[in-house]
C-alpha cells in the first residue's frame, strides 16, 4: 500500500517480439500490461517513450488475466 502523498504515473508495456506468435491479436489499443508506478518525489517517476527499455523493481502483481478472444472461421 502506498502513502497518500506519493506521486503516480501509469503506462502500458508490450513486447512486440511476441506479437507474431499470437498473430498480432495482442496488439490492440491499450494492450499490454498496465504499470502503476509510485514515487515519493515527482522527478523520480519515469517518463517512458515508445521503444524505451524499462527496469522494474519491487513489482507487485496481484493477478494477471489474459483474454485472447474467440476466433471464428
pLDDT for residue 41: 92
The reported pTM is: 0.60
pLDDT for residue 70: 52
Cα 9 to Cα 14, 35, 36, 52: the distances in Å are 17, 8, 6, 16
Task: Quick: pLDDT tens for 28-43.
Answer: 666 678 889 999 999 9
Is the pLDDT at 73 greater than 50, yes or no? no
pLDDT for residue 45: 92
Q: Which residue has the cell 506479437?
A: 19
Amino acid at each position: 500500500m502506498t502513502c497518500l502523498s506519493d506521486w503516480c504515473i501509469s503506462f502500458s508495456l508490450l513486447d512486440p517480439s511476441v506479437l507474431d506468435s499470437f498473430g498480432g491479436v495482442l496488439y490492440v489499443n491499450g494492450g499490454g500490461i498496465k504499470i502503476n508506478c509510485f514515487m515519493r518525489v515527482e522527478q523520480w517517476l519515469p517518463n517512458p517513450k515508445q521503444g524505451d527499455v524499462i527496469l522494474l523493481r519491487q513489482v507487485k502483481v496481484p493477478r494477471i488475466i489474459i483474454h485472447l478472444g474467440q476466433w471464428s472461421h
